[in-house]
Amino acid sequence: MNYDIIVIGSGPGGYVAAIRAAQLGFKTAIIEREELGGICLNWGCIPTKALLKSAQVFHYINHAEEFGLNKSESTFEFSNVVKRSRGVANKMSKGIEFLMKKNKIDVIFGTAKIAKGKKVNVTDKEGKTSEYSATNIILAQGARSRELPNIPQDGVKVIGYRKAMTLDKQPKSMIVVGSGAIGVEFADFYNTMGTKVTIVEFMPNVVPVEDEDISKQLEKSLKKSGIDIMLNASVESIDTSGEGVKANVKTAKGNITLEADILLSAVGIASNLEGQGFEEVGIKTEKGKVLVNEWYETSVPGYYAIGDLLPTQALAHVASAEGITCIEKIKGLHVETIDYGNIPGCTYCHPEVASVGMTEKQAREKGYELKIGKFPFSANGKATANGDTDGFIKVIFDAKYGEFLGCHMIGTGVTEMIAEAVVARKLETTGHALLKAIHPHPTLSEAMTEAVAAAYGEVIHI
């Protein structure tokens, strides 16, 4: 069967690209080897947030007396927490199924492999292979948990993020290798539920891509919650011959051995390039990523790639934006290229972390003279009423022109608030304009105005 557009992969990049293609009148098909929605909806973004919500509710129950409430003994069935998370994921996947039908997109289940001449061979579960063709093929196969040679995953004692969501029973202890978004989110979840957690991070800071002030605050908050953190450390080898797992960890003071029930390897992701037919077609890759132009066309005309296949930020909202941009350019619409310097990043641990734009270090390295403002949630009325005052908002402006260079937040609810900074930067809003934008009281968002005011020496509440 011949299509205008065939999309391979139904994650946030693929399914969004398929829907936009159908909206623009393209005859569209989408190919998926597992569940609609890809990793994000089924094994990533959505189910992890469901787990973290359960942990948050459990935390509130255990701290009820701080809110003037009496509580009885709080217990839980770990399997029910996992069951709820899987239910949320399944509901979202069914929602994508509805959207495919609504937009008259053909859904083809099976494992796809591209071929020359803009062909796609799809092998179903029974082993039957069918051939499809399209004028344009969108590659959106995503990524998987990165596996290090010295930390091989057996799916039992040494696991990746996927298994971490569906453990049969809660471990009493866990080693988390890597403190990026995946690592700290799972560390926070398991710690809150009662698991003894140790984070091992190779870099000198947790969440190392974030502004240094944010990293230091998160480290302080995680330690306060009971998580042990080892920085400038690396797991050299593991031993799973006993009941649990032993990790030989190299530190500045020498090697030590950590023991736990389970080790979670959260050292990043690897793009799904193998066995896709890329080499046979002639699609160029470099350092494990597909090379594309500004409109996501690969080295072979008619083949496009988006999402985690690319060296851009491995985020669901980035993949979606790339998919829409790619399809609209194929249609011939007037399209802006994506500004990768204005992509928000969010980590949903407690406290949450959210950021956009340059860190202070990056801005100084670029030679900017800066105006920097910080405002703590401990001085915010709504945060105090919420009983959750850890964190702050930090804003960075160019001192000469007032350009909004970066915004970095840590605290409850900041993943919802970061969008204000994204829109402000998109509209090229200056510090003075933000300062005069009246925010409602009492809200957490007032901390944004106060942080800007602090940058300009006009802060009121500290």
| Residue 461 among the catalytic residues | no
Whole-angstrom Cα distance, residue 380 to residue 394?
14
Whole-angstrom Cα distance, residue 422 to residue 6?
32
pLDDT surpasses 90 at 219: yes
What's the mean per-residue pLDDT of the chain?
A: 96
Q: Return the exposure string of 383-406: e unless at least 16 CB atoms fall within 10 Å of the residue's CB, then b.
A: beebebbbbbbbbbbbeeebbbbb
71 pLDDT band (50/70/90 cuts)? confident
- β-pair partners for 313: none
Q: Domain residues of the chain, as ranges? A: 2-145+270-340, 158-267, 351-455
Q: What is the pLDDT of residues 367-416, one digit of tens each?
A: 999 999 999 999 999 999 999 999 999 999 999 999 999 999 999 999 99
**Selecting from 3.90.1260.10, 3.90.1150.10, 3.50.50.60, 3.40.50.620, what CATH number does the domain 158-267 have?**
3.50.50.60
pLDDT surpasses 90 at 326: yes
Q: Which of 203, 198, 150, 147 is nearest to 175 (CA)?
A: 198
Q: How far apart are the first and last CA of the chain?
A: 66
Annotated binding-site positions for NAD(+): 178-185, 201, 268
Q: Which of 270, 294, 298 is nearest to 283 (CA)?
A: 298
Annotated binding-site positions for FAD: 49, 308
Q: Which of 354, 356, 351, 355 is nearest to 411 (CA)?
A: 351
DSSP category for residue 77: -
Structure tokens given for 376: 């703590």
How confident is the model at residue 424, as a pLDDT? Answer: 98
How confident is the model at residue 44, as a pLDDT? Answer: 87
Q: Which long-range contacts (CB under 8 A, 24 or more apart) does 40-43 make?
A: 40/11, 40/12, 40/316, 41/11, 41/12, 41/89, 41/92, 41/93, 41/96, 42/89, 42/92, 42/93, 43/89, 43/161, 43/162, 43/165
Q: How far is C-alpha 301 from the geometric centre of its chain's CA atoms?
A: 30
How confident is the model at residue 52, as a pLDDT? Answer: 95
73 pLDDT band (50/70/90 cuts)? confident
How confident is the model at residue 23, as a pLDDT? Answer: 98
CA distances from 145 to 92, 128, 186, 302 (A): 22, 28, 14, 29
Mean pLDDT over residues 307-326, rounded? Answer: 97
Q: What is the pLDDT of residues 34-52, one digit of tens each?
A: 999 988 888 888 999 999 9
Q: How far is C-alpha 65 from the geometric centre of its chain's CA atoms?
A: 34
Instruction: Work out whether strand 245-251 and strand 143-145 pair parallel, antiparallel, or are unpaired.
Output: unpaired
How confident is the model at residue 228, as a pLDDT? Answer: 98
How confident is the model at residue 75, as a pLDDT? Answer: 87
Mean pLDDT over residues 254-264, rounded? Answer: 97
CATH superfamily of this structure's domain 351-455: FAD/NAD-linked reductase, C-terminal dimerisation domain (3.30.390.30)
How confident is the model at residue 39, as a pLDDT? Answer: 85
Whole-angstrom Cα distance, residue 371 to residue 435?
13
Whole-angstrom Cα distance, residue 419 to residue 249?
39
The answer for residues whose C-beta is within 8 angstroms of residue 323's C-beta and 6 or more apart is 12, 13, 14, 16, 17, 20, 138, 140, 306, 307
Provide φ and ψ at 411, rounded to 5°: 155, 170
222 pLDDT band (50/70/90 cuts)? very high
Q: Which CATH class is domain 2-145+270-340?
A: alpha beta
Annotated binding-site positions: 49, 178-185, 201, 268, 308
Query: Do 158-267 and 351-455 have matching folds?
Result: no
What is the 3-state composition of the chain as percent helix, strand, coil, each rounded to the nearest 5? 35, 25, 40
Q: How many CB atoms lie within 10 A of CB 455?
A: 24
How confident is the model at residue 41, as a pLDDT? Answer: 87
CB 29 within 8 A of CB 105: yes
Hey, is 414 helix, strand or coil? helix
Q: What is the pLDDT of residues 74-116, one digit of tens each?
A: 889 999 999 999 999 999 999 999 999 999 999 999 999 999 9
Q: CA torsion angle for 80, 84, 85, 87 (degrees, to 10)?
A: 130
The single residue of 317, 350, 432, 441 carrying the catalytic annotation is: 441
Q: What is the pLDDT of residues 336-379, one digit of tens each?
A: 999 999 999 999 999 999 999 999 999 999 999 999 999 999 99
Percent of the chain clearing pLDDT 90 (strictly above): 96
